């Protein structure tokens, strides 16, 4: 006998309260990180500035760390074919010129890319603006589609919670905010709203028993989300095997958001809808 989604198993207040507690904890975690770093999610090199160096060498990470002990070496990532991706924090021009000379002497074929702190701050502002306006436009579209306050708010809150939880998990698992992970968060807005709109549309615009309508929406929505999770998981595995760091980070953030979406859509959003509809019927 297969699993059946039963909206009547728990009272709506419980369905709403638990996800909201999780949302508040995630917001608190982002607040703490903001106090520590100045941003809700720890910025990567794209936004904080620094120097990225790509070299091909058989030197171990310890040997590389020893060779650049006098410089702000943040991380050494391993790539394919003996590739190494070195990340250095922001530094003064004199120190950068010294580092460039050492790298050129030790690794003549190295590729050096520098991102200034001012340019990183500009990218940071643009990323925040993109996220803000994407979310606002999404909320406007949702309100225009349903034209009912509570169901529309339920969709927006669920999508907001997906992004907040994904961002909090990025801090927990040390995934920096970069151009790639910002794109992943933007994609999550679309993924999140998709299942929420499906649920709300089925419940408000179809006739029948509320529990049956929600169970039918769950069957379709869960398959949609599972397909997206399978695709993101495949990308995550391939990036892990191929040691492609940015793809690995993007796919991880998407997996975080999709997992949160299942929870928020079928517990938080469904609970708010049930609470709203039962209250309307009682009146």
The pLDDT tens digits for 34-83 are: 998 888 998 888 887 788 888 888 888 888 888 888 888 888 877 667 77
Q: In the chain, which segments carry CATH 3.30.70.260?
A: 50-115
Alpha-carbon distance 267 to 15, whole Å?
Answer: 5
pLDDT reading at 282 higher than 70: no
| DSSP H or E run through 83 | strand 83-88
Contact 254/191 with Cβ under 8 angstroms?
A: yes
Place of tokens 């910002």: 182
Residue ranges of the chain that CATH labels 1.20.1640.10: 7-43+118-282
φ, ψ of residue 86 in degrees (nearest 5): -100, 135
Please state, rounded to an integer, the average pLDDT across all residues of the chain.
87
Of all helices (H) and strands (E), which one includes residue 249? helix 245-263
How confident is the model at residue 108, as a pLDDT?
85
Collapsing DSSP to helix, strand or coil, 55 comes out as: strand
If pLDDT is split at 50, 70 and 90, which confidence band does 129 have?
confident
**pLDDT tens readout for residues 187-207:** 998 888 888 998 998 888 888
For 7-43+118-282, CATH number out of 1.20.1640.10, 3.20.19.10, 3.30.565.10, 1.10.260.40 equals 1.20.1640.10
pLDDT score of 283: 61
Which CATH number applies to 50-115: 2.60.40.10, 3.30.70.260, 3.40.190.10, 3.60.20.10? Answer: 3.30.70.260
**Cβ(5)–Cβ(267) below 8 Å:** no
| Full-model pTM | 0.85
* Average confidence (pLDDT) over 223-238: 93
227, pLDDT greater than 80: yes
What are the tens digits of pLDDT across the range 242-261?
778 889 999 999 999 999 99
């Amino acid at each position: 006998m297969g699993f059946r989604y039963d909206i009547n198993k728990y009272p709506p207040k419980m369905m709403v309260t638990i996800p909201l507690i999780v949302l508040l904890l995630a917001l608190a975690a982002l607040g703490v990180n903001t106090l520590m770093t100045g941003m809700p999610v720890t910025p990567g090199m794209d936004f904080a500035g620094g120097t990225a160096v790509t070299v091909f060498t058989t030197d171990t990470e310890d040997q590389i760390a020893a060779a650049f002990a006098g410089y702000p070496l943040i991380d050494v990532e391993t790539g394919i074919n003996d590739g190494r991706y070195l990340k250095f924090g922001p530094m003064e021009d004199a120190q950068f010129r010294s580092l460039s000379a050492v790298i050129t002497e030790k690794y003549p074929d190295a590729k050096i890319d520098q991102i200034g702190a001012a340019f990183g701050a500009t990218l940071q502002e643009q990323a925040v603006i993109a996220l803000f306006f994407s979310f606002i436009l999404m909320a406007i579209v949702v309100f225009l589609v349903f034209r009912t306050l509570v169901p529309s708010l339920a969709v927006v809150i669920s999508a907001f919670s997906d992004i907040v939880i994904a961002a909090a998990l990025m801090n927990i698992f040390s995934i920096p905010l970069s151009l790639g992970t910002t794109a992943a968060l933007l994609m999550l807005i679309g993924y999140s709203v998709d299942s929420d709109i499906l649920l709300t549309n089925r419940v408000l615009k179809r006739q029948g028993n509320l529990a049956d309508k929600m169970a039918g929406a769950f069957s379709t929505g869960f398959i949609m989300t599972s397909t997206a999770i399978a695709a993101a998981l495949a990308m995550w595995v391939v990036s892990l095997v191929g040691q492609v760091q940015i793809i690995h980070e993007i796919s991880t953030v998407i997996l975080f958001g999709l997992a949160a979406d299942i929870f928020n859509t079928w517990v938080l959003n469904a609970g708010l809808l049930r609470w709203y509809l039962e209250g309307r019927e009682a009146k």
